[in-house]
Amino acid sequence: MNDLPFAARMARNLIHVCRDGALATLDTSGHPHASHVATATMIDGAPLLLVSALAVHTQNMQRDARASLLFVSPDVDGDTNTRARVSLVGDVAPVDDVDAARMRFLRRHPDAAMYAGFADFGFWRFTPRSAHLVAGFGRITDLAADDLLAPAGMAAALASSDEGAVSHMNSDHADALKLMAEVLAEAPEGEWQSVGIDPLGIDMVRTGPGPQTSARVEYDEPVGDGMALRKALVALTKRARASLQTA
Amino acid sequence: MNDLPFAARMARNLIHVCRDGALATLDTSGHPHASHVATATMIDGAPLLLVSALAVHTQNMQRDARASLLFVSPDVDGDTNTRARVSLVGDVAPVDDVDAARMRFLRRHPDAAMYAGFADFGFWRFTPRSAHLVAGFGRITDLAADDLLAPAGMAAALASSDEGAVSHMNSDHADALKLMAEVLAEAPEGEWQSVGIDPLGIDMVRTGPGPQTSARVEYDEPVGDGMALRKALVALTKRARASLQTA
């Protein structure tokens, strides 16, 4: 693929929309080990893991920070080789801001509240250094960390708005979330709740009956404070309404 | 889990029923790399891959045979940490018997016929040395290669019966396949076709409309020739009929 912005958006979409991935770590002998992990994202878009110290992959990560994380688009019928996927290569480390990590992870995985407080469970950040996107059969793009993550300064500045913005959207703007998910992200109809904002976009999950589905919509421009975020979300909602009226 | 035969059967079921997995290989610097691969199984139950020499994982496998392969049970709603999965640790090598590999892989992935003959595509065998089964939250069992694979002698002896048995079952015993899949494997209703037999069991896929689903049923005893296979399949069909009548 030659359209780098499109490929980068597709990779970010996979990272944010998938709720689990395959983690590759190294065992004591340097042999690779593939395991299943539940995932969320940090405010800058880096994958966030909640793992038990008793798990093999955690013991591997404690010895060697080198890891890889694979996200695959939801199953399709037909050839599994046509599924879009992204392989991230990077390093893992326990998160610094555990409170922010817990909030973001539990919004994405409410069932994890049951064990997130266990003494042996901890939050880890996966910092990607590069990524390899296979958008489908033969459609391959190599991406850099800058293509996947929001600028660190903007992420840090927006962090204080995360909790308030998400709860405000969920309590007062369910209609706007529904428009953004169904019209802009072309996701299935239902009730939609936000599970996180970041400098580049907003993540949502469909609640209620039926299979759990996620959607992400990105703003026109990155945002680095609450005011810019508010304007970006209003602009997205207007775009969704306009798109509905011309449909 | 203390029930090793149950855990081993669950691990084999994941290997055979999943049509794709996450492969962990090592890059030039020894950094782990996670990627998506379509999978089938060899006659002894070892995972079988069809990969392009141009792909990153293939270049990794050509340099270093050490690999790991993760199979995860189909998505469920609720906590993704409750999904059963098995991490295999082992070694990869190009297959010796390319004709048998092609037959077994294409029965599982008919769409791959389009590119299976391309010069850069090749079949690789993943030989597991050990496995780590997570049957659900905290239900963990370590398994050996013998728990996953059929005895080599039986697999070699049964190989000559594979093609004939599968096509005979599919053309003449669709009713038996349907009973085995729906009654014994408790899979959804539909039309069922066999995609492979092995010394321990028979693999089936649901054809026709709706999402693609797979099922596996194992015999009471391992089989090592066509006659024993025939008896084992008759016994399974009878058991399914009896189960229906007493239901």
- pLDDT, one tens digit per residue, over B43-91 is 999 999 999 999 999 999 999 999 999 999 986 667 788 889 999 999 9
Q: B176 in a domain, yes or no?
A: yes
List the single residue in A25, A80, A111 with the smallest CB-CB distance to B32. Answer: A25
Q: A103 in a domain, yes or no?
A: yes
Say yes or no: B97 and B175 in one domain: no
For A107-145, what is each residue's pLDDT tens digit? 999 999 999 999 999 999 999 999 999 988 778 999 999
The residue segments making up the domain with residue A80 are: 4-149
Nearest-Cα residue of chain B relative to residue A213: B77
For B196-222, what is each residue's pLDDT tens digit? 999 999 999 999 777 779 999 999 999
Contact assignment for A22 to B24 by CB distance below 8 Å: yes
Mean pLDDT over A174-203 rounds to 96
For B7-41, what is each residue's pLDDT tens digit? 999 999 999 999 999 999 999 999 999 999 999 99
Q: B83 in a domain, yes or no?
A: yes
CA torsion A79-A82-A84-A87 (nearest 10°) is 90
Q: B246 in a domain, yes or no?
A: no
Contact assignment for A83 to B24 by CB distance below 8 Å: no
**Partners of residue A75 in chain B, C-beta under 8 Å:** 74-75, 211
For A27-40, what is each residue's pLDDT tens digit? 999 999 999 999 99
Say yes or no: A43 and A127 in one domain: yes
Domain end: A115, A149, A183, which one?
A149
Q: For the packed helices A98-108 and A152-172, what is the interaxial angle rounded to 10 degrees?
A: 40
User: At residue A227, does pLDDT exceed 80?
Assistant: yes
Q: How is chain B classified by DSSP, letter by letter?
A: ---HHHHHHHHHHHHHH-SEEEEEEE-TTS-EEEEEEEEEE-TTS-EEEEEETTSHHHHHHHH--EEEEEEEPPP-SS-GGGS-EEEEEEEEEE-S-HHHHHHHHHHH-GGGHHHHTSTTEEEEEEEEEEEEEE-STT-EEEEEHHHHS--HHHHHHHHHHHHHHHHHHHHH-HHHHHHIIIIIS-PPSSEEEEEEE-SSEEEEEEESSSS--EEEEE-SS---SHHHHHHHHHHHHHHHHHHHHH-
Domain end: B149, B168, B197, which one?
B149
Say yes or no: B227 and B145 in one domain: no
Q: What is the pLDDT of residue A76?
A: 66
Q: What is the pLDDT of residue A239?
A: 96
- Which pTM value belongs to this model? 0.96
CA torsion B75-B181-B166-A137 (nearest 10°) is -20
Q: A40 in a domain, yes or no?
A: yes
Q: Domains in chain B: how many in total?
A: 2
Task: pLDDT band for B246, please (50, 70, 90 cuts).
Answer: confident
List the single residue in B30, B68, B109 with the smallest CB-CB distance to A34. Answer: B68
For B82-126, what is each residue's pLDDT tens digit? 889 999 999 999 999 999 999 999 999 999 999 999 999 999 999
Say yes or no: B93 and B59 in one domain: yes
CA-based nearest distance A160→chain B, Å = 28
Task: Say what percent of chain B tops pLDDT 70.
Answer: 97
Q: What is the pLDDT of residue B76?
A: 66
**What is the rounded CA–CA span in Å between residue B42 and residue B40?**
7
Say yes or no: B124 and B205 in one domain: no
Q: B154 in a domain, yes or no?
A: no
Q: A19 in a domain, yes or no?
A: yes
Nearest-Cα residue of chain B relative to residue A139: B55
Say yes or no: B14 and B125 in one domain: yes
**What is the rounded CA–CA span in Å between residue B184 and residue B204?**
12
Return phi, psi of residue B181, to 5°. -70, -50
HSE-CB at B116 with a 13 A cutoff on CA atoms is 21
List the single residue in B31, B72, B77 with the smallest CB-CB distance to A89. Answer: B31
CATH of the domain at B99: 2.30.110.10
Q: A246 in a domain, yes or no?
A: no
Q: What is the pLDDT of residue A238?
A: 97
Q: Are A107 and A116 in contact (CB under 8 A)?
A: no
Give the residue, B50 or A210, on which the prediction is more confident: B50
**Partners of residue B87 in chain A, C-beta under 8 Å:** 33-36, 56
ipTM of the complex: 0.95
Q: What is the pLDDT of residue A2?
A: 65
Say yes or no: A20 and A94 in one domain: yes
Contact assignment for B68 to A132 by CB distance below 8 Å: no
Mean pLDDT over A167-191 rounds to 96
CA-based nearest distance A1→chain B, Å = 15
Domain end: A149, A183, A198, which one?
A149
